[in-house]
A and B are shown apart, each in its own frame.
Chain A
Amino acid sequence: GAGVSQSPSNKVTEKGKDVELRCDPISGHTALYWYRQSLGQGLEFLIYFQGNSAPDKSGLPSDRFSAERTGGSVSTLTIQRTQQEDSAVYLCASSYRSSPTDTQYFGPGTRLTVL
Chain B
Amino acid sequence: AQSVSQHNHHVILSEAASLELGCNYSYGGTVNLFWYVQYPGQHLQLLLKYFSGDPLVKGIKGFEAEFIKSKFSFNLRKPSVQWSDTAEYFCAVLNNAGNMLTFGGGTRLMVKP
Contacts and interface: CB of A to CB of B under 8 A. Distances in A.
Interface stretch (A13-21, A68-76, A98-106): A98-106
A43 B44 CA distance: 11
Contacts of B32: 100
B94 interface: yes
A71 B90 CA distance: 32
Interface residues of A, number: 26
B105 A42 contact: yes
Nearest to A108: B43
Contacts, number: 53
A102 B44 CA distance: 16
Interface in B34-53: 36, 42-46, 49, 51
A88 interface: no
Contact of B103 (A43, A56, A105): A43
Interface in B3-45: 30, 32, 36, 42-45
Interface of A: 31, 33, 35, 42-45, 48, 50, 56, 59, 91, 93, 97-109
21 contacts: A31-B99, A33-B99, A33-B100, A35-B101, A42-B106, A43-B92, A43-B103, A45-B101, A45-B102, A50-B99, A56-B99, A59-B100, A91-B44, A98-B99, A100-B32, A100-B96, A100-B98, A102-B98, A104-B46, A105-B46, A106-B44
